Amino acid sequence: MEAGDSEIPAQEAANLEKCTDPYLRCAFNGAAQTALGVSGSALLAHSPQGCEYLVNNAFAWQECDYMETITLCTKLCEDEIVHGGEDLLARTIREVKGLPITALFILSACGPEIVGDDIVAVCETVQPEVKFRLIPIECAGFRGSQYEGIDIALEVILKRLIKKEGEKVPRSVCLIAPHANANPTWMADLDWVKQILSQMGVRVVATLTHKTPLAEIENVSSAETSLLLSHDAGQRAVDYLASEYGIEQICRGIPLPIGMTNTGRWLTELGSRFDHEREAGKMVSDGERMVMATCRRKWPMARFFYRTPTAIVADATVGIPLLRFVTEDMEMTPELVALYSAQRQVRELLEGELKDLGLNPKIVYGTDVYKTRRSLGEVRPRVVFGSTIERHASEGFGVAYVVELVRMMRQFRFINREYFGYTGILNLFEAVQNEWTIRWRSKEKRYEAKW
Amino acid sequence: MGRYHLPCVSPYLYIHSREKKIDRDMGTDSIVFHGTLQQLLEKVETGELIPRLQASHAPMCKFFTAYYVISGIRHVVPLVHGPTGCPLYVSDFVRTRECCEIRGVPLEPTACTSLDESHVIYGGEGKLLEAVKEAYTKYHPDLIVILSCCCSGIIGDDVESIAREAEKLVGCRVLALRSEGFGGDFRSGYEDAFKLIMELMEPPREKRRRTVNILGARWGPTTTEFNMDLDEIERLLGEVGIKINAVIAGGCTVEEIRRAREVELNASWCYDWGQKLGDLMEERFGIPYSKTGQPYGLEATREWLLGVAKPLGMEKEALEVIERETHEVEPHLAYLKKALEGKTAIIEITEFPGPIRALSLARMVEEFGAYPVVINVHPYTIKERMPSIKFLLETGVNPEIILTKGLFRLGSFRSSKETEDELEEIVREYDDVIFFGNAARYPPCPVVNLSLMNPAFQPQYGFGGIKNIAALVRQALENRNLPRSRLLRGMLYGSRR
């Protein structure tokens, strides 16, 4: 049995293993991803200089523009680890007090948290001297994975920034954790959701977080509903909003809208909540007609994969809905599902889908590179939906195609592509098509031309 | 620094008038330092020119650079004793993206003990010991290197003792490296990792004649450093008849490292990166180290090759190769002399910024008759490369240096608008200028694009490099009037409209 199998609770499974080769970054990185989604702000890493690279990664993940967003670092050295870095932090904040920003997020890394730097107290002391809000987030890497970091940062942001007395905006929604999605151009998924909501006359009060002004966050309590856009992180923020402000979570417990059935179900649920059943129905029928008509004209190679043994290695946000897409829309046979996450709600959602589809693949929760490779070697799928890592991890196992959908190591998309919704289906087909083309392109010529 | 004030006296008499003109026309507000390399070094040594802005540019930490070196050994498990954030950047960027995607390296593990809050409180030594055993069982490596991070360093986990204990329990060597991010600058990670590698070197069973090690490589097997420079060096050594035992650590095996003391001489693909290991091996094992700069241009290439061949008694063979190769590149050399004679070459290395390459290029353009002015080598990097800079000064490399205010700007290297404006201003102050840098700059003069990210003009070292640099200079001069991209400039520095 794989450590991390469904019978073993996630934390316990993680503790069984002493040596892993992880997919997920640390809490510090997740918190940085979240903070950098707030526009008009800057981020100060209270850390040694290496952690700044985790900030850089988060910077890219939120598609920040270096002409607008600045990231800073206290560059802690041995001195600060021995004597404490609070003075240095205060001095650094003062050093940047001229920045034209509305908020400065101060994120503490492992070192300063272990030595006991109190970043909250430093911020309180220095706050009167600066014009922008200081928002300390204690998010040392050892606190957990990047998903834990997203939850920590969302909690701080909500607790510190929401104005208590928000009047409810009718037919409104707050979007949660769109960035906890391994689609490398997840902003397109977010855009698709916003477009759908707009068509249904639903107002987005705030997005937590992506290009989100501080003012939007302050007004979160005015939202009637919340919509979680990730299966991996954000549920704690959703629960907090429900308990503190009576904000109702919608589309709870159903897979995100990837593929025909998931999209239809998700749109129907949304339409039902906002009394737009007819519009939702029309979106579904128009969308499905568009996909079929497009495929009729383009002839996707995806049609050749009937009952091909397949593996899905991804986050839960993409991986769980992809399972139905691969099974139903592409008629493939999923024989391995390896997810980065292992939370209870992820297990419940996946197991519900498997039962509904009548599938019994090998499941690995909280997978790492070692478990993925071992599972690929065991299952020997012909197609893998995953990342650049699986392209290399599946070498020697007779895998014909690795469709890179998540965590690509190089940016090869300039136009953001959604996986959600009906155009999302075409984008997934295009990814399969490109992989198919590369696979079948002649690598060498049988003879030389004469000219 | 006051207006019209000359920050220092230049040994080049003719610098004075240029300095005055530049400092006057640009306003000394933009110029932080203007003098020679020797003078800059003095200011860095006295601490006068080290940036005081805490929040300014942050290079990699010690852990990252230690990993870079260790990952260059085949079948090694770098076992990161820390939370998951520390290995992730390096394993994504170095392992998967660089090594697997463009260097033909199979996916090998980057393991981690994934320390959490309870380990921070109770200590992680027990888990580390188990992790070493597990890593051996899972991956069957030739070597395990424990790399400590901030967490394990602060809580005081004794990684060296665990390594010694673990080695008795597994079938391969287990080494430990204290590489806490806060524990030193980025250079110390490279150097400590190279030093650690020495522990694998066994007493020689034989002396292998005409065999060398190449030192100072990292980031896994060839091609290192994004280009084919190392290939060019290997090719030239091969032409002379010199064998290479190991490229340390650029895809070498543990067995090659074990036998590293059997060579007659150590050489480096870059004096700076090889220097520490070369000096240590010379000191401890008596293996001489060929001290030469980077082989840019004919003179430096000749020096580099003879620097290796002479101690091996192969000067004659090397001279034959040099003569043959020089003859082959003669038209390119003639072109470079004709094209660069009398020009001012402004040199700026912003890509993977380090001063050594800029200084090597300064030497090269001088060889072809141009007057070099190096701009914006960061004092931080000067400080970290002090021994190499001193070595270059000893060899006569002492160009004019200008540092501008933008170099010390708050924030990261991404924001380079200020230095771009300053570069444009500087270029306007000189006559007959040619810029050696990369195409991300838009000075009002011909631009020689020395980007390492364009394989079309690689290598830049050696005789192959002479051809490529000549081609780049030709492109710059002959197409100087072609329009530059408003699109790419807008992307980098914002739209002017």
What is the 3-state secondary structure of chain A? CCCCCCCCCHHHHHHHCCCECCCCCEHHHHHHHHHCCECCEEEEEECCHHHHHHHHHHHHHCCCCCCCCCEEECCCCHHHHHHCCHHHHHHHHHHCCCCCCCEEEEEECHHHHHHCCCHHHHHHHHHHHCCCEEEEEECCHHHCEHHHHHHHHHHHHHHHHCCCCCCCCCCEEEEECCCCCCCCCCHHHHHHHHHHHHHCCCEEEEEECCCECHHHHHCHHHCCEEEECCCCCCHHHHHHHHHHHCCEEECCCCCCCCCHHHHHHHHHHHHHHCCCHHHHHHHHHHHHHHHHHHHHHHCCHHHHCCCCEEEEEECHHHHHHHHHHHHHHCCCEEEEEEECCCCHHHHHHHHHHHHHHCCCCEEECCCCHHHHHHHHHHHCCCEEEECHHHHHHCCCCCCCEEEECCCCCCCCCCCCCCCCHHHHHHHHHHHHHHHHHHHHCCCCCCCCCCC
HSE value, Cβ hemisphere, 13 Å, CA-based, for B361: 29
Across the interface, of B83, B111, B417, the residue whose CB is closest to A110 is B83
Q: Write down the pLDDT at residue A442.
A: 86
Q: Which residue of A has its CA nearest to B189?
A: A50
pLDDT confidence bin for B14, thresholds 50/70/90:
very low
CA–CA distances in Å: residue A324 to residues A54, A330, A357: 33, 9, 7
Whether the CB-CB separation of A134 and A126 falls below 8 Å is answered with yes
Whether the CB-CB separation of A203 and A196 falls below 8 Å is answered with no
User: For B365-379, what is the mean pLDDT?
Assistant: 92
Q: Write down the pLDDT at residue A84.
A: 93
Q: Write down the pLDDT at residue B491.
A: 86
Report residue A273 CA to chain centroid gap: 25
Q: Which residue of B has its CA nearest to A369?
A: B109
Distance from CA of A53 to the nearest CA of B (A): 7
Domain ranges of chain A: 27-161, 172-273, 299-440
Contact B182 A52 (CB under 8 A): no
Cβ burial of B36 (10 Å; 0-12, 13-18, 19+) is buried
Q: Which 75-114 residues of chain A touch chain B by CB within 8 A?
A: 75-78, 80-81, 88, 91-92, 95-96, 99, 109-111, 114
Contact B61 A109 (CB under 8 A): no
Using one digit for the tens of pLDDT, what is the confidence trace for B269-321? Answer: 777 778 889 999 999 999 999 988 889 999 999 999 999 999 999 999 999 99
3-state secondary structure of B289: strand
Q: Which two tokens mark B494?
A: 């914002």
A27-161 maps to CATH 3.40.50.720 = no
> Quick one: which of B218, B220, B348 has its CA closest to B272?
B218
Judged against a pLDDT cut of 90, whether residue B219 lies above it is answered with no
Region of poorest pLDDT, from B47-56, B180-189, B276-285, B320-329: B47-56
Q: What percent of chain B has pLDDT over 70?
A: 89
C-alpha B112/C-alpha B146 separation (Å) is: 9
Q: Write down the pLDDT at residue A359.
A: 96
Q: Which two tokens mark A375?
A: 């599972």
Region of poorest pLDDT, from B140-149, B251-260, B286-295, B350-359: B350-359
Q: Which 313-332 residues of chain A touch chain B by CB within 8 A?
A: none
Average pLDDT of chain B?
87
Q: Write down the pLDDT at residue B51.
A: 65
Q: Which two tokens mark A348?
A: 């419940």
Judged against a pLDDT cut of 60, whether residue B7 lies above it is answered with no
C-alpha A287/C-alpha A264 separation (Å) is: 9
Contact A49 B130 (CB under 8 A): no
Which stretches of chain A drop beneath a pLDDT of 70? 1-15
Domain A172-273 shares a fold with domain A299-440:
yes
Contact B182 A14 (CB under 8 A): no
Instruction: Name the residue with tokens 């990166």.
Output: B273
Instruction: Name the residue with tokens 């694009």.
Output: B449
Instruction: Name the residue with tokens 């707030």.
Output: A38
Whether the CB-CB separation of B140 and B154 falls below 8 Å is answered with no
Contacts of B54 in chain A (CB under 8 A): 74-75, 88, 91-92, 95
Q: Write down the pLDDT at residue B12.
A: 37
C-alpha A293/C-alpha A290 separation (Å) is: 5
Contacts of B86 in chain A (CB under 8 A): 26, 50, 141
Question: What value, to the nearest 5°, has the Cα angle with vertex A319 and ends A266 and A200?
Answer: 20
3-state secondary structure of B403: strand
Across the interface, of B53, B120, B182, the residue whose CB is closest to A78 is B182
Judged against a pLDDT cut of 90, whether residue B225 lies above it is answered with no
β-pairing, B31-36 with B400-404? Answer: antiparallel
Q: Which 408-447 residues of chain A touch chain B by CB within 8 A?
A: 409-410
Judged against a pLDDT cut of 60, whether residue B13 lies above it is answered with no
What are the beta bridge partners of residue A404? A386
Whether the CB-CB separation of B400 and B370 falls below 8 Å is answered with no
Q: What is the CATH number of domain A172-273?
A: 3.40.50.1980
Contacts of B61 in chain A (CB under 8 A): 48-51
Of B48 and A311, the structure prediction assigns the larger pLDDT to: A311
Query: Is the preceding peptide bond at A20 cis, omega within 30 degrees of 0?
Result: no
Judged against a pLDDT cut of 70, whether residue B46 lies above it is answered with yes
Q: What is the CATH number of domain A299-440?
A: 3.40.50.1980
The 10 Å Cβ neighbour count of residue A293 is 10
- Domains defined for chain B, CATH in brackets: 15-49+329-493 (no CATH), 62-200 (3.40.50.1980), 211-323 (3.40.50.1980)
Judged against a pLDDT cut of 80, whether residue B255 lies above it is answered with yes
Contact B85 A369 (CB under 8 A): no
The interface predicted TM-score of the complex, written ipTM, equals 0.90
Q: Write down the pLDDT at residue B386.
A: 82
User: For B248-262, what is the mean pLDDT?
Assistant: 94
Q: Write down the pLDDT at residue A132.
A: 97
Q: Which two tokens mark B305?
A: 């090759």
Residues 6+ apart with CB under 8 A from B112: A19, A20, A21, A22, B79, B80, B82, B83, B84, B86, B87
pLDDT confidence bin for B495, thresholds 50/70/90:
confident
Name the phi and psi angles at B417, rounded to 5.
-60, -40
The 10 Å Cβ neighbour count of residue B121 is 10
Contact B181 A49 (CB under 8 A): yes
Across the interface, of B55, B63, B133, the residue whose CB is closest to A72 is B55
Name the phi and psi angles at A97, rounded to 5.
-70, -15
pLDDT confidence bin for B9, thresholds 50/70/90:
very low
Torsion of CA A124, A159, A23, B92, to 10 degrees: -40
A397 touches chain B (CB under 8 A): no
Query: Is the preceding peptide bond at B387 cis, omega within 30 degrees of 0?
Result: no
Q: Write down the pLDDT at residue B456.
A: 82
Q: Write down the pLDDT at residue B21.
A: 56
Contacts of B115 in chain A (CB under 8 A): 142
Contact B181 A91 (CB under 8 A): no
Contact B54 A52 (CB under 8 A): no
Q: Write down the pLDDT at residue B24.
A: 55
Q: Write down the pLDDT at residue B15.
A: 47
